[in-house]
């Protein structure tokens, strides 16, 4: 099997990535890491906002060479990985939870500068997602998108759980700018208000239960299984909702070059999503016996040229690691919609057994389809050339 491109990997940023790139006025508030015993602790505004075992950050894979890109590529090559798309650990979840506009933009600019400086020379093999805060003035967001594009960054990332729904008209300029510059809009699981509610616990919404704080084992298991804590069911549902926002608001109709990529949100939900969306706009067989207006659940006519499921297959993509349902349903989902990710260096990822795991996962799948899912689709979407 050919070397693969991971559409979902992570980097542990240098401890001073923000402090060395932000103005002196905000330096004391800047995000930072500290190694404390077996953990890496993330701070914002001097407050603890993340505590994760150092090995989960990849301290065992890249202890001293985490910021040496050549060394990183060698570690990836040991597992048959030729390239990757990267999201920072602190920049990915903690920084995306900052909603104060001026501070959020300053943190985002520092993070984007770090990506461009560190990985710019390797942009043919490494894609860094430029973070764009959505709580700032959309004009400033567009300016940052354009600045990141000039620096060579190929995509943007926004929170999966935003402070305001993305169907609002105020966000249209952001999607238009991303489409015009052919920069896919990515969203990663657990980012934004979901993480802030779970860890910072200073917001009433969304309804997230921190299962780790529940004493009863039975109750905790039930909550985790249903999506409480760091688990997947809520992320797939949120991806379904966000995709519906983009489809129903006309963002995809207006911007055919706009692409939405969900990272680590699962893939199997896409097998049913198109039908679910379409059914909202399909006349219900028995409703007209009550009132003709009820023949369609929406009560209004579908205003766009294509069906919701058409936009879904054309412009929505998602990553997965070892999800057998995604492979089994690849044609129903849409082959072009699927991208494989190793999730290096997180412990739920496939490193260092990516070849073994994908070999079993794609057993019996035609080689051309495997190549598309493990690199070709990503390369086409993000403008890369994956070697044979």
Q: Which of 186-195, 293-302, 335-344 has the weakest average pLDDT?
A: 293-302
Percent of the chain with pLDDT over 90: 63
Q: How many CB atoms lie within 10 A of CB 168?
A: 13
Please provide the DSSP assignment of 87-156 as one string.
Answer: EEHIIIIIGGG---HHHHHHHHHHHHHHHHHHHGGGTTTEEEEEE--SSS-HHHHHHHHHHHHHTT--EE
Most confident segment among 65-79, 146-160, 202-216, 296-310: 146-160
Q: Which pLDDT score is estimated for 294?
A: 60
Please provide the DSSP assignment of 242-296 as one string.
Answer: HHHHHHHTTHHHH-TT--EEEESS-STTHHHHHHHHHHHHSPPTTGGGT-GGGGS
Q: What pTM value is reported for the model? A: 0.94
| Cα–Cα distance for residue pair 266/387, rounded to 1 Å | 27
Q: Which residues contact 310 (CB under 8 A, 6 or more apart)?
A: none
| Cα–Cα distance for residue pair 32/10, rounded to 1 Å | 17
Q: Return phi, psi of residue 20, to 5°.
A: -90, -5
| Cα–Cα distance for residue pair 179/166, rounded to 1 Å | 15
Q: Which of 10-24, 54-68, 86-100, 105-119 has the weakest average pLDDT?
A: 54-68
Domains and CATH numbers, the chain: 4-382 (3.20.20.140)
| The CA-based dihedral angle spanning residues 297, 302, 307, 308, taken in that order and rounded to the nearest 10 degrees | -60
């Amino acid at each position: 099997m050919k070397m693969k491109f991971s559409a979902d990997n992570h980097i542990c940023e240098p401890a001073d990535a923000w402090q060395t790139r932000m103005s002196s006025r905000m330096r004391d508030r800047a995000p930072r890491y500290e190694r404390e015993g077996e953990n890496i602790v993330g701070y914002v505004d001097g407050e603890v906002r993340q505590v994760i075992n150092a090995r989960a950050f990849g301290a065992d894979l890249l202890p001293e060479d985490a910021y040496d890109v050549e060394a990183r590529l060698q570690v990836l090559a040991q597992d048959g990985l030729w390239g990757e798309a990267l999201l920072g650990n602190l920049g990915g979840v903690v920084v995306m939870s900052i909603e104060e506009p001026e501070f959020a933009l300053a943190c985002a600019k520092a993070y984007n500068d770090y990506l461009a400086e560190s990985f710019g020379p390797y942009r043919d093999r490494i894609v860094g997602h430029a973070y764009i805060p959505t709580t700032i003035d959309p004009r400033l967001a567009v300016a940052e998108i354009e600045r990141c594009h000039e620096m060579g960054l190929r995509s943007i990332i926004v929170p999966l759980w935003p402070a305001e729904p993305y169907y609002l008209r105020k966000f249209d300029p952001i999607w238009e700018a991303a489409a015009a510059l052919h920069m896919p809009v990515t969203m990663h699981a657990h980012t934004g208000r979901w993480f802030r509610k779970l860890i910072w616990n200073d917001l009433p919404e969304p309804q997230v239960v921190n299962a780790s704080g529940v004493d009863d084992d039975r109750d905790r298991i039930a909550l985790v299984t249903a999506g409480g804590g760091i688990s997947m069911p809520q992320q797939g549902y949120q991806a379904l909702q966000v995709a519906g926002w983009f489809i129903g608001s006309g963002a995809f109709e207006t911007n055919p070059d706009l692409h939405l990529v969900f990272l680590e949100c699962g893939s199997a939900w896409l097998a049913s999503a198109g039908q679910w969306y379409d059914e909202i706009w399909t006349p219900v067989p028995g409703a007209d016996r009550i009132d003709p207006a009820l023949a369609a659940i929406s009560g209004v006519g579908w205003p766009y040229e294509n069906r919701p499921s058409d936009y879904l297959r054309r412009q929505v993509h998602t990553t997965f690691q070892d999800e057998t349902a995604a492979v089994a349903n690849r044609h129903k989902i849409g082959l072009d919609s699927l991208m494989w990710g190793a999730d290096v260096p997180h412990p739920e990822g496939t490193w260092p057994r990516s070849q073994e795991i994908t070999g079993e996962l794609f057993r019996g799948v035609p080689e051309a389809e495997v190549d598309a899912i493990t690199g070709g689709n990503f390369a086409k979407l993000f403008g890369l050339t994956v070697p044979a």
